[in-house]
Amino acid sequence: MKRIAVLTSGGDAPGMNAAIRAVVRGGLDQGWEVFGVRQGYAGLIAGEMNSLSARDVGGIIQQGGTMLGSARSLEFKTEEGRKVALANLEAKGIEALVVIGGNGSQTGAYALSQLGFPVVGVASTIDNDLYGSEITIGVDTALNIALEAIDRLKTTASSHRRAFLVEVMGRDCGYLALMSGLAGGAEVVVVPEVDTPPEEVAARLRGAYERGKAHAIAVVAEGARYGAEELMAYFREHQARLGFDLRSTILGHVQRGGIPGAFDRLLATRLGFGAVTRLAKGQHGILMGLLKGEISSTPLGEVVASKKPLDASLLEMAWVLAQ
């Protein structure tokens, strides 16, 4: 093998740059030329890729986002688009591809591998909903950003004896909401995996005041059936009966933009370097992830066909500890 390429796709995650750096420098150590693909699969179709040196990835390990850029590509979802991407890789003499990203990105990686092209995925998404890795690149940093917001809101909530609703990201996965709510001591956590009606949210918040608490915090996942918008509308409509005010804070994309912490830098470095090591051994069609504390691989076919479950026992524990 003489040439490989690396791309980042889907939502950016703190630590992606550390993974890029590890792939580039790990590949150069193997004696390969490493190409960076700009703007994800869209760049692959457009042929936007260039050779990267060790210095090109210098000073990026501490930066959030992705130096290669990321973009959605509807064209890549078509057979014609994937064939164009494959032709561009072959025209550059590139023999393997490393894909850093989440579910959609790894679905694309699997599609390329099914066409016979060697691909290795690297698990990266703040949602932590990707099968094949217990925790993915960006999750720890996003959690700490959400937790800091919850801690700050708890301070002002106590000052005014108010209830606050905090919406965190996660798409259809409640991991970020559950873990930030558990670590932040929230009175109620609302996740997509468990249907929590507005009346139950209200009861739990009211119960906090009845137990003598000076504040009440609800953490809500953006993909929950009753999200921030629906809950706020319900509380406004029934304010007289419920008997208390509710303020909302939607964290949104601020969770993606943080400087990666030590855990994400180390995880990204290990996964990126692991992808190169596996390619050097002739292994591909796999996702690099963290399983039982070890850098491990899972077949991409298994990754895209499986759903990562939420640990319901942690949700029960959060409810008990909120008393």
Q: Which residues contact 135 (CB under 8 A, 6 or more apart)?
A: 128, 267, 290
Q: Does 162 show up as a binding residue in the annotation? A: yes
Q: Which 8-state DSSP code applies to residue 252?
A: G
Q: Does 72 show up as a binding residue in the annotation? A: yes
Q: Does 22 show up as a binding residue in the annotation? A: yes
The DSSP-derived string for 65-90 is S-TT-----TGGGSHHHHHHHHHHHH
Q: Does 169 show up as a binding residue in the annotation? A: yes
Q: Does 170 show up as a binding residue in the annotation? A: yes
Cα 308 to Cα 119, 128, 157, 172, distances in angstroms: 22, 9, 34, 11
| Alpha helix ranges (H) inside 102-218 | 103-114, 139-160, 175-183, 198-210
Q: Does 253 show up as a binding residue in the annotation? A: yes
Q: Does 171 show up as a binding residue in the annotation? A: yes
Q: Does 21 show up as a binding residue in the annotation? A: yes
Q: Does 215 show up as a binding residue in the annotation? A: yes
Q: Which 8-state DSSP code applies to residue 238?
A: T
Q: Does 103 show up as a binding residue in the annotation? A: yes
Distance of CA 303 to the CA centre of its chain: 15
Among residues 12, 127, 129, 140, the one annotated as catalytic is: 127
Q: Tell me, yes or no, if 127 is annotated catalytic.
A: yes
Helix 16-29 × helix 262-280 angle, to 10°: 30
Q: Which residues contact 223 (CB under 8 A, 6 or more apart)?
A: 170, 171, 172, 173, 174, 192
Q: Does 63 show up as a binding residue in the annotation? A: no
| Residues of the binding site for ADP | 21-25, 154, 185-187, 211, 213-215
For the annotated catalytic residues, the residue numbers are 127
Residues contributing to the annotated binding site for Mg(2+)? 103
- The annotated binding site is made up of 11, 21-25, 72-73, 102-105, 125-127, 154, 162, 169-171, 185-187, 211, 213-215, 222, 247, 253-256
